Amino acid sequence: MSNTKTSMSDQAASLGHGGELHQTASRPDARITTNHGVPISDNQNSLKAGRRGPSLLEDFVLREKIQHFDHERIPERIVHARGSAAHGFFELTDSLAEFTTAKILTEVGKKTEVFTRFSTVAGGAGSVDTPRDVRGFAVKMYTVEGNWDLVGNNIPVFFIQDAIKFPDLVHAAKMEADRGYPQAATAHDTFWDFIGLMPESMHMIMWAMSDRTIPRSLRMMEGFGVNTFRLVDANGKGTLVKFHWRPKLGTQSTCWDEALKIAGADPDFHRRDLHDAIAAGDFPEWEFGVQLFTDEEAEALPFDILDATKLVPEEVKPIRVVGRMVLDRNPTNFFAETEQVAYLPTNMPPGIDVSEDPLLQGRLFSYQDTQLSRLGSTNFHQLPINQAKGCPFQNFQRDGHMQTQVIPGRANYEPNSLGEAGEVAGPRADPKGGFRSVAVPVGETKVRLRAESFADHFSQARLFFRSQTEIEQSHMASALVFELSKVTLPHVRLRVLSLLRNVDETLAQRVANGMNLDLPEAATPAVAPQDLPPSPALRIVGKYPETLKGRAVGILVSDGADGAMVEAVRKAAMAEGAKVMIVAPKVGGVTLKDGRKLPADGQLAGTPSVIFDAVAVVLSEAGCTQMMQDSAAQDFASFAFVHLKAIGHSPEAMPLLKKAGVMPDEGILDLAKGVDGFTAMAATRRWAREPKVRMLA
């Protein structure tokens, strides 16, 4: 009797708002059941014919459990498979009512729930977080007029101009078809073969070879809508728009050598960083901005606004900041939310519309289609993470795989007059408030071609390269040398070099020198490149203020270390907004000079300096002697040095630093002289050190 009572109350508790069933696993008194609610008496042993006999087919508990497990995986995303996400909100700070009717862009101060997923592009779902790759930046905003998915990247342009090339691009970039490698890397023959044959990719290649593709943190990336969209006012008038996200923590990157080493030290580096920051209440925030253009302004630009390989420099059209996004809640369940979320560029509230960009036009088909194979049902919009939470969705689409709605009545067609008989008639179109497309004139002859206005492939690649600081230019040249040195086909290397000559002769020469090759003849461009005025806004170095906020400082300690020094560094770094970790040879920590115990946050062998932005090495004399026998301790110091980090140290730690090849410069500080300068030095990389530790192209 009491059993029946429990099972009925369990069931009642598990019925959600819409009548959907929820797991009760979080309840301490919850009984384990089959998927159909039958209580299970033993979850450790299968049903057997005798004590040592074979298992019985009759054992539906075993069969159901194994079978469900066998089907746990769904196809991973064909691109952007590796991703990390968080919940948060969008808040409008400046109304765009002059240009659009979309409530999310006109109601200042209103907060709209969002779910944002960041991703790498090429690697599989289980690949590492830090390859050189473009990052996806997809934001789902649950607005009161339906979901708005702004499915962007951390780079404002793209490799190709027409969607028809996308499968080729992705095939070429992913692991090679016969051998199944390399994973999550573009440094291989087929990618560069494709690039060498696609001059339109040169602008994006400049971005891909810049430090933008090795971000320090998902919290420190800019985001871009890439394609041009339209805002639509109450009269149906369209205004062209490009969307931007700017991180409050600034754009920051790793060093390439560091990114490679992080891949080994912590394959989940970015996922962990995002999760930990949000869990600690350190919520990442972005400004939301727009660049708006009338058709006439767009017409006057020296390229086509419908061409996704081009950007509009901020110096030409400033970004108007109109909102902010804060991510303040980690997903509760990775699969249900981060994996099952489905972003669709076709999700737009009334007041926002697409442009004729041929890349975007292809995307308008692709995302809906890919969800059908990935999530397996046309009802994927009913999954909690995909539901239009800001408003109800209602239409006459019915049935299908995994239908979870129990819709009453017989009105499943439209028009109907069932309302006249007092029955529920269902929803109707809303000519005024419903989604409307801008009346853009079209109607030329059908053609399969690339518009002449898309023909200039080099001017903006040149603009980007020439807008960079010297430091960034040398990183780009070195990245190209690294990638092309992994290419095994000589003609592929030469073809890329011949394209680079149209971007910038000095760049091409540096890359050729870096491979010890002679420069081939320049490729013949379809349109002669122009020298556009440089755009300093395209840099990372020097663009944002230097800060320790959101960054991490590691303090390596030994037995007998000076506790006051450790404490002073910790306090100073935390006061600047950094996360601080104590690293010791043993995870139980060390005994300080004054006899106090200092617990460690990480063991030295598993907590290398690559996961920190700056380090302090606070050792006793005996501790230093011991650590000099440990390659992990030497690597800690030497990698911090070659990755251009500030290193604070106790005087006793000098022998270790010397053995590790650390040479004195303004970023190496004796902490016995005070910790004051340390945080200022730690707020940025010591770029001046780089030529002394690395052969740059």
> Which of the residues are catalytic?
80, 153
**Which of residues 92, 151, 218, 262 is near ligand HDE by CB under 6 A?**
151
> CB within 8 A of 98, min separation 6: which ones?
233
List % helix, strand, coil for the chain (3-state, nearest 5).
35, 15, 50
What is the C-alpha separation between 203 and 220, in angstroms, rounded?
A: 22
**150 in contact with ligand HDE (CB under 6 A):** no
The two three-digit tokens of residue 319, written as one number: 């970004």
**379 in contact with ligand HDE (CB under 6 A):** no
**215 in contact with ligand HDE (CB under 6 A):** no
**242 in contact with ligand HDE (CB under 6 A):** no
Q: Letter for the amino acid at 138?
A: A
Minimum Å distance from CB 261 to ligand HDE?
A: 27
**228 in contact with ligand HDE (CB under 6 A):** no
Which letter does DSSP use for residue 214 in this model?
S
Minimum Å distance from CB 358 to ligand HDE?
A: 8
**Which of residues 370, 382, 403, 509 is near ligand HDE by CB under 6 A?**
370
Minimum Å distance from CB 331 to ligand HDE?
A: 13
Minimum Å distance from CB 174 to ligand HDE?
A: 12
State the virtual CA torsion across 456, 195, 356, 242 in degrees, nearest 10: -80
**153 in contact with ligand HDE (CB under 6 A):** yes
Which letter does DSSP use for residue 14 in this model?
H
The two three-digit tokens of residue 641, written as one number: 């040095």
Minimum Å distance from CB 225 to ligand HDE?
A: 6
What is the C-alpha separation between 292 and 241, in angstroms, rounded?
A: 5
- Compute the residue count for the chain: 697
What is the C-alpha separation between 360 and 372, in angstroms, rounded?
A: 19
From 25-33, 210-218, 347-355, 357-365, span contacting ligand HDE (CB under 6 A): 357-365
> CB within 8 A of 453, min separation 6: which ones?
303, 304, 306, 307
**163 in contact with ligand HDE (CB under 6 A):** yes
**166 in contact with ligand HDE (CB under 6 A):** yes
Of 227 and 607, the one with the shorter C-beta distance to ligand HDE is: 227
**286 in contact with ligand HDE (CB under 6 A):** no
Of 119 and 478, the one with the shorter C-beta distance to ligand HDE is: 119
Cα–Cα separations (whole angstroms), residue 216 to 211, 254, 261, 427, 535: 9, 5, 13, 48, 23
Based on C-alpha coordinates, what's the Rg of the chain?
29
Minimum Å distance from CB 360 to ligand HDE?
A: 7
**Which of residues 146, 267, 362, 577 is near ligand HDE by CB under 6 A?**
362
From 151-159, 238-246, 492-500, 538-546, span contacting ligand HDE (CB under 6 A): 151-159
**147 in contact with ligand HDE (CB under 6 A):** no
Of 226 and 644, the one with the shorter C-beta distance to ligand HDE is: 226
What is the C-alpha separation between 563 and 92, in angstroms, rounded?
A: 47
**245 in contact with ligand HDE (CB under 6 A):** no
From 1-9, 74-82, 347-355, 621-629, span contacting ligand HDE (CB under 6 A): 74-82
Minimal CB distance residue for ligand HDE: 136
Of 383 and 566, the one with the shorter C-beta distance to ligand HDE is: 383
**Which of residues 82, 363, 381, 551 is near ligand HDE by CB under 6 A?**
363
The two three-digit tokens of residue 62, written as one number: 């075993």
**119 in contact with ligand HDE (CB under 6 A):** yes
Phi-psi region of 577 (alpha: psi -120 to 50; beta: other; left: phi over 0): left
**207 in contact with ligand HDE (CB under 6 A):** no
From 32-40, 356-364, 612-620, 635-643, span contacting ligand HDE (CB under 6 A): 356-364
The two three-digit tokens of residue 69, written as one number: 């497990």
**311 in contact with ligand HDE (CB under 6 A):** no
Q: What are residue 287's DSSP bridge partners?
A: 246, 324
User: Which burial class, exposed, middle or buried, applies to 487 when counting CB atoms under 10 A from its CB (0-12, 13-18, 19+)?
Assistant: buried
What is the C-alpha separation between 307 and 493, in angstroms, rounded?
A: 27
**Which of residues 88, 131, 152, 585 is near ligand HDE by CB under 6 A?**
152
**334 in contact with ligand HDE (CB under 6 A):** no
Q: What are residue 173's DSSP bridge partners?
A: none
* Strand pairing category for 552-557 and 614-618: parallel
**Which of residues 327, 359, 476, 569 is near ligand HDE by CB under 6 A?**
359
User: Do residues 642 and 257 lie in contact, with contact meaning Cβ atoms separated by under 8 Å?
Assistant: yes
The two three-digit tokens of residue 405, written as one number: 């709605």
* Number of other CB atoms surrounding residue 447 within 10 Å: 7
**83 in contact with ligand HDE (CB under 6 A):** yes
Binding pattern for the stretch 429-468 against ligand HDE, x by CB under 6 A and - elsewhere: ----------------------------------------
Which letter does DSSP use for residue 118 in this model?
E
Of 337 and 472, the one with the shorter C-beta distance to ligand HDE is: 337
For the stretch 436-444, contacts whose Cβ atoms lie closer than 8 Å and that sit 24 or more positions apart, written own/partner, are 436/232, 436/236, 436/350, 436/353, 437/353, 438/230, 438/232, 438/236, 438/237, 438/238, 438/353, 439/236, 440/238, 440/356, 442/356
**Which of residues 61, 77, 140, 475 is near ligand HDE by CB under 6 A?**
77
**138 in contact with ligand HDE (CB under 6 A):** yes
From 76-84, 284-292, 483-491, 650-658, span contacting ligand HDE (CB under 6 A): 76-84
Minimum Å distance from CB 288 to ligand HDE?
A: 16
Number of residues lying near ligand HDE (CB under 6 A) = 26
Of 158 and 678, the one with the shorter C-beta distance to ligand HDE is: 158
What is the C-alpha separation between 650 and 157, in angstroms, rounded?
A: 47
**Cis, peptide link before residue 182, omega less than 30° from 0:** yes
Q: Which parts of this chain interact with ligand HDE (CB under 6 A)? A: 77-80, 83, 117, 119, 136, 138, 151-153, 158, 163, 166, 226-227, 308, 342-343, 359, 362-363, 366-367, 370
